[in-house]
Amino acid sequence: MLTPKFKVLQDDKHLSVHIFAPYARISDAEINIDGESFTFYSSPYYLRLTFSGRLVDSELEKHTAKFDAAVGAFIIVCEKETPGQHFANLDMLTTLLAPHGATGVNKPMIEVVGDEKDGELLDEQDEDFDWMYEQTLPEENIVTGGHKYGFANNTTGVFTALQNELKGVVDVSDPDNKSASQRREERITHELRVFDEDHYLADYFEVDTAQQCVEFIPEFYSITSDEVELSDQDKEDMMKLPRKEHLLDKGAQSIVYLGLVDILYSWCYNHRVTLGENCVESAWNVAKLSSTLSWFDSFTHLKDVAVGSVRRSVTFPLIRNWLLSQEVLKDTAQILSLGRKKVLQCLLEIQRFFNSSEPRYLLNQLYITDYCVWIQRIKDNKLISLADSLKKLKISKDDICLDLEDLEAAAHLVLEEEEENALAHGENINNIVTDFAGLTVIENGAALGANDNEDGLKKGAAINPREGLAQLSDSDSSSSESDSEDDSDEDSDSSDSSDDSSDDDSDRDGSSSDSSELDSDDDTLSESDEE
């Protein structure tokens, strides 16, 4: 038989059950209503629901049923036995599917004893928790049960047979032979050892990426608990959850609640750094940041949860920023304040992360699936109380024992020294430029001072030295020509004299030629005389 998809709506007098069974035999449909129990059968579908209130029996034929062919759904409208009564948990599909009296893992099938009100147990869950009070872990019987982990510490021996899967799932080694206190001590030691100061400082000063994540406003800040809606995918995943109920004592409940905060913190971090759009690293982000999932840790104090989560958020992920970690704490409190439906939505998303990221599906079997079942039966006021305590909690940089304040102060000193050195280097360059401005330029054997022609220097500063000298020469020539007409005449005279000198040179060349000829004649005459 197949369990069909369904949803349940209500008003003051009626309860409406919508059953999506597109391949059902309509003529064979059978409906049976008996007090709190509702049963539907139409081959190949079978559905049994248990409500928190009583309905009018089907024998009285006060219910109506029809088949909507457009959507392929049966719509059955039932009358409430007590008009105006509110039926709780209609969104918690797994709770509706669970038969009355179902129990948790590794326990015999027994009926849950206790008064009920609106379908919620009035037992030890109604006791108030002091989330700031240091609890004690339940003692482990290592002779008969071994060291335990998993949801409510009810599992052991898993990794004895799955050693090959261990490294791909968790950071703790050989968890079956280590107690909760040993696992915690190793976790803290590991976090302090692998903390990367350079990576942290890089994200501390290069704030562009981190700032974008810090300024991001998740959508769950703009809704109320009544406005939380489970998607069709969420409802489909809820149908696949086991039909059971967990019976927990007070110590186990405290561990489960605090572990929930730790897991939700990792979800909120991933949601913020991906800006609400999950990526292929989302499963790694959630598994790595959660001490519960990566080290099988069991918390006994809310501050320990917050300290561990923040320390891991500045040690392992890609973006390691203190302000970002603080914002994620606020996000976690906001999720808790929205109640179990929003928390369930987050847990179902984590379950999908791990199912698509082998071998992390083992974390679903150890923790997430049980959390998805358990969260549907708890009361919202417990989550709201936990959220209020988390909002009041203040975590300082000293609490996480990484010396972040000293590290940041030392980095600032180094930057200040570098800035001072850069400033001094800039002053030296300015002095060199000033010295160059005072140099004397030699042109054609004449000295030209820096102050003789400021315009010339300014022009020459933008070009090469030879072009500058040429400009200075042209500038001096033009200025000297405009001084006086006498200077102009003198220049023309000097020009004439240069012409004359050139003529004289040519005459000298001529005379030189003549003299050589005369010498030649003289030699001839002397020879004749000798004869």
- What does 451-483 look like in DSSP terms, one character per residue? TT-HHHHHHHTTS-HHHHHHHHHHHHHHHHHTT
Peptide bond into 359 cis (omega under 30): yes
Say whether both 301 and 358 belong to one domain: yes
Say whether both 172 and 304 belong to one domain: yes
Say whether both 207 and 303 belong to one domain: yes
Residue showing tokens 């004439």: 496
Assess if residue 330 is contained within a domain: yes
The whole-angstrom separation of Cα 155 and Cα 410 is: 47
Say whether both 288 and 337 belong to one domain: yes
Decide the pairing of beta strands 64-68 and 441-443: unpaired
Assess if residue 415 is contained within a domain: yes
Q: What is the pLDDT of residue 460?
A: 44
SS3 235: helix
Assess if residue 461 is contained within a domain: no
Assess if residue 428 is contained within a domain: yes
The whole-angstrom separation of Cα 393 and Cα 330 is: 10
Q: What is the pLDDT of residue 367?
A: 96
Assess if residue 478 is contained within a domain: no
CATH assignment at residue 71? 2.60.40.790
Q: What is the pLDDT of residue 426?
A: 67
Q: What is the pLDDT of residue 429?
A: 66
Domain that includes residue 360, residue range: 156-402
Say whether both 171 and 292 belong to one domain: yes
Q: Which of 60, 59, 73 is nearest to 26 (CA)?
A: 73
Q: What is the pLDDT of residue 128?
A: 62
Say whether both 327 and 391 belong to one domain: yes
Say whether both 242 and 275 belong to one domain: yes
Q: How many domains does the chain have?
A: 3
Assess if residue 151 is contained within a domain: no
Assess if residue 123 is contained within a domain: no
Say whether both 222 and 241 belong to one domain: yes
Say whether both 289 and 334 belong to one domain: yes
Peptide bond into 242 cis (omega under 30): no
In this prediction, the residues of the chain whose per-residue pLDDT falls under 50 are 101-125, 141-144, 447, 450-451, 453-473, 475-531
Last residue of a domain, one of 90, 120, 147: 90
CB 518 within 8 A of CB 526: no
Beta-bridged to residue 48, according to DSSP, are 39
The residue type at 455:
D
Say whether both 267 and 392 belong to one domain: yes
Last residue of a domain, one of 90, 112, 141: 90
Assess if residue 108 is contained within a domain: no
Residue showing tokens 């959850």: 241
Q: What is the pLDDT of residue 424?
A: 72
- What does 396-438 look like in DSSP terms, one character per residue? -TTTTTS-HHHHHHHHHHHHHHHHHHHHHHHHHHHHHHHHHHT
Say whether both 15 and 29 belong to one domain: yes
Last residue of a domain, one of 59, 90, 121: 90
SS3 451: coil
SS3 109: coil
Say whether both 393 and 319 belong to one domain: yes
